[in-house]
């Protein structure tokens, strides 16, 4: 070979080698891929596959006695190579398939028919592996028939629970189906037309106990029960009927009658949360209900289609309101499925608030600083007496639950006050409104005492002793009496440590003068009575019970013991005195001396004819004046007296004082000296802040 030729073929050698190797690989793998199929397919061998179909009435998946074969059921056979063929069961319930023997899995699938359910698997498989294995396979398929419940809904006009002529079927009613375990199976609504109207069918049901429940619609009542139960056997169809009747509606409306005229006006609101009770015409209770936000409560009642009935509604009253319409109302005649309306009006009560104040300046207006008057009696009238009451601590009194109208309020008058505002007063009351009335009173100027605060028997607030000068036909009464020549009038008592707070000029408390000394167990005073005959009470605080010796202790004891004897600081007990000056004595302990005392004397006018002319002054038959309280007419005088070697009478020394300005000054100096000496030397120190 030439060198050039060698070079030309040298490059072809690798190509031939590549293609040779490729052919070898293709031969080997091709043989392995094709040879098994060719090896397991035997055209001379036949497989027989049968689907057997039976009616499994008890649903146990096994053909039992009495469960026959089913014809006309389609089955599909799927071969190992995924090719398929179909067959239908014959009268013996068999669908047979013949096929060549191929190893692999064969699948039978049944076609389920409507109204049936399978009790065995819908798909069954068999694997053929060749050799000595049987070449026949029969698969059993069981099926059972469903049961169903048909619901019929009708309008039970006479309410007797039976479907009768003239009572139609009702569409559009919802029902729910439950099984025996209470599990919801399905829901549906009645529909249809003509003879099939009001129908709902629950199908595909197996043997079991079922409950059908209707959803009640507003305005109807169930006449057969809202739920009914059904026991279903194999391949059963059962029908149940549900009856409902239309109800009549009684509409009750509650409104706030703002003008109280008993009519519902456009601007008058409805009232929620108001209770009503409904009765039939024989007063049999039917139901109760409460108005909603729209002021309405509906009562649904059954009236048979060929009847009419009336009903009565009664409202339950509420506090703060009064009825402007009858609280019991009867409807007009109501028929089957009809309705009636009733309107009940109520208005809020009105009230009157009364204020009572002490009109200190007497101007008829309640000014700042003028106090309220508690415990003041008022009466309310509207043609006749309605109510009464007393003011509280704030001086107010409220008359409540008043219907609209004009009212008159009258205050109870007091012997100690006179009105500065009109009495009585009228006012108008409107629904829900509160009228206000203000009554002012000023206290009469009266004669008060002036004992120190330590007693306390002086201030009006303490019910201090006070005497109101009486008037007869707007003139001083002839039968009045008083102590001495003068009697003052003031708005309140004036407590004073030396008991002349209301008598700075020493010309008022002039009716009682003590004797120069009270020794030997006898106290002596001189009493001057002016005006008419009178009754005198007197107290002298001369014994200090706490320390057991003489001196004042800011109390007037009715009875106390001293040195085994009994004494009283009420030294004069309601004795009768004619006009003039009288010397009066009373018992004291024998060793009484050298002390300071406080005294109170009260004179009350006495009825004519009391007393006698023989110099004796019997006790008055009228109720005696006390240490406190009001007396009509007369006078109260309080004194501070000091007894001792340098005794000085701090008040009037004569029934009719005759002192000059110089004399008054000397008396004042003497008073200061004597008081200083007494207070320093006295065994029991008393603190007196003389003003």
Q: Is the pLDDT of residue 645 over 80?
A: no
Q: Is the pLDDT of residue 17 over 70?
A: no
Distance CA 467, CA 632 (A): 6
Query: Length of the chain in residues, anyone?
Result: 691
Tokens 């003139």 belong to 475
State the pTM of this model: 0.58
Distance CA 331, CA 249 (A): 11
Nearest in space to 542 (alpha carbons), one of 565, 573, 570, 582: 570
DSSP conformation letters of 517-561? ---TTEEEEEEEEEES-EEEEEEEE-EETTTTEES--S---S-EE
Contact predicate 536/577, CB 8 Å: yes
pLDDT for residue 649? 39
* Tokens standing for residue 338: 């009809």
Q: Is the pLDDT of residue 669 over 70?
A: no
Distance CA 213, CA 201 (A): 13
Mean of the per-residue pLDDT values of the chain = 87
Nearest in space to 563 (alpha carbons), one of 595, 523, 587, 590: 590
Q: What is the 3-state secondary structure (H, E, C) of 263-315?
A: CCCCCCCECCCCEEEEEECCCCEEEEEECCCCCEEEEEECCCCCCEECEEEEE
Task: Determine the average pLDDT of the residues in 590-595.
Answer: 88
> Residues 476-531: pLDDT tens digits?
898 999 999 988 899 999 999 999 888 777 778 899 999 988 988 999 999 999 99
CA triple 52-53-54, angle to 5 deg:
125
pLDDT for residue 519? 85
Task: Determine the average pLDDT of the residues in 28-42.
Answer: 41
Contact predicate 524/518, CB 8 Å: yes
pLDDT tier for residue 277 given thresholds of 50, 70 and 90: very high
- Strands (E) in 56-171, as ranges, are 74-78, 84-88, 94-101, 104-110, 116-118, 123-128, 136-145, 147-155
> Residues 354-405: pLDDT tens digits?
999 999 999 999 999 999 999 999 999 999 999 999 999 999 999 999 999 9
* Tokens standing for residue 424: 């009585």
pLDDT for residue 562? 94
Distance CA 335, CA 328 (A): 21
How far, in Å, are 50, 159, 294, 309, 490 from residue 249 at the CA level?
69, 16, 16, 12, 77
What is the number of alpha carbons within 13 Å of residue 98 lying toward its C-beta?
A: 4
* Percent of the chain whose pLDDT exceeds 90: 77
Domains along the chain? 42-144 (2.60.40.10), 147-246 (2.60.40.10), 248-348 (2.60.40.10), 350-443 (2.60.40.10), 447-681 (no CATH)
Cα torsion for 288, 293, 298, 299, to the nearest 10°?
-10
């Amino acid at each position: 070979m030439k060198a050039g030729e060698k070079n030309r073929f040298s490059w072809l050698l690798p190509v031939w080698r590549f293609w040779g190797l490729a052919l070898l690989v293709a031969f080997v793998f091709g043989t392995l891929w094709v040879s098994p199929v060719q090896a397991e397919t035997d055209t001379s061998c036949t497989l027989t596959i049968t689907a057997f179909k039976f009616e499994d009435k008890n649903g146990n998946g096994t053909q039992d006695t009495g469960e026959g074969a089913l014809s006309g059921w389609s089955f599909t056979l799927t071969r190992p190579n995924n090719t398929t063929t179909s067959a239908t069961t014959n009268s013996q319930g068999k669908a047979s398939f013949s096929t060549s023997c191929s190893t692999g899995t064969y699948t039978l699938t049944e076609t389920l028919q409507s109204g049936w359910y399978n009790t065995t698997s819908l798909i069954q498989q068999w694997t053929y592996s060749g050799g000595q294995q049987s070449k026949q396979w029969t698969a059993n398929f069981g099926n059972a028939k469903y049961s169903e419940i048909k619901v019929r809904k009708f309008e039970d006009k006479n309410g007797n629970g039976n479907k009768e002529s003239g009572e139609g079927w009702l569409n559009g009613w919802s029902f729910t189906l439950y099984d025996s375990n209470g599990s919801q199976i399905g829901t549906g609504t009645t529909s249809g037309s003509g003879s099939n109207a009001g129908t709902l069918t629950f199908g595909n049901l197996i043997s079991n106990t079922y409950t059908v429940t209707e959803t009640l619609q507003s305005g109807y009542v169930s006449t057969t029960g809202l739920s009914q139960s059904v026991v279903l056997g194999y391949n059963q169809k059962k029908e149940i009927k549900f009856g409902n009747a239309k109800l009549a509606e009684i509409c009750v409306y509650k409104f706030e009658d703002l003008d109280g005229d008993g009519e519902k006006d456009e601007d008058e609101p409805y009232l929620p949360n108001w209770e009503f009770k409904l009765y039939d015409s024989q007063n049999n209770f039917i139901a109760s209900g409460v108005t909603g936000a729209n002021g309405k409560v509906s009562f649904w009642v059954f009236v048979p289609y060929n009847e009419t009935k009336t009903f009565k509604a009664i409202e339950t009253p509420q506090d703060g309101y009064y009825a402007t319409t009858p609280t019991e109302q009867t409807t007009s005649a109501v028929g089957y499925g009809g309705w009636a309306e009733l309107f009940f009006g109520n208005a809020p009560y009105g009230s009157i608030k009364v204020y009572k104040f002490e009109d200190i300046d007497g101007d008829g207006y309640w000014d700042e600083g003028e106090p309220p008057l508690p415990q003041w009696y008022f009466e309310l009238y509207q043609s006749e007496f309605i109510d009464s009451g007393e003011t509280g601590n704030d001086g107010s009194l409220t008359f409540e639950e008043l219907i609209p109208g004009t009212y008159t309020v009258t205050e109870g008058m007091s012997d100690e006050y006179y009105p500065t505002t009109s009495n009585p007063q009228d006012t108008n009351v409107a629904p829900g409104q509160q009228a206000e009335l203000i009554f002012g009173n000023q206290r009469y100027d009266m004669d008060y005492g002036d004992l120190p605060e330590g007693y306390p028997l002086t201030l009006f607030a303490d019910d201090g002793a006070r005497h109101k000068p009486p008037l007869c036909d707007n003139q001083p009464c002839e039968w009045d009496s008083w102590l001495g020549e003068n009697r003052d009038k003031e708005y309140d008592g004036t407590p004073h440590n030396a008991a002349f707070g209301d008598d700075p000029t020493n010309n008022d408390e002039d009716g009682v003068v003590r004797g120069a000394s009270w020794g030997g167990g006898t106290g002596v005073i001189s009493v001057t009575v002016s005006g008419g005959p009178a009754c005198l009470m007197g107290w002298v605080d001369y014994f200090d019970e706490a320390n057991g010796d003489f001196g004042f202790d800011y109390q007037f004891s009715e009875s106390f013991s001293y040195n085994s004897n009994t004494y009283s600081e009420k030294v004069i007990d309601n004795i009768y005195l004619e006009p003039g000056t009288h010397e009066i004595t009373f018992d004291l302990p024998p060793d009484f001396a050298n002390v300071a005392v406080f005294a109170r004397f009260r004179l009350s006018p006495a009825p004519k004819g009391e007393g006698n002319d023989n110099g004796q002054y019997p006790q008055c038959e009228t109720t005696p004046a006390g240490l406190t309280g009001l007396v009509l007419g007369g006078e109260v005088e309080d004194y501070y007296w000091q007894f001792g070697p340098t005794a000085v009478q701090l008040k009037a020394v004569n029934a009719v004082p005759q002192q000059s300005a110089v004399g008054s000054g000397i008396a004042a100096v003497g008073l200061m000296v004597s008081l200083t000496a007494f207070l320093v030397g006295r065994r029991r120190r008393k603190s007196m802040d003389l003003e």
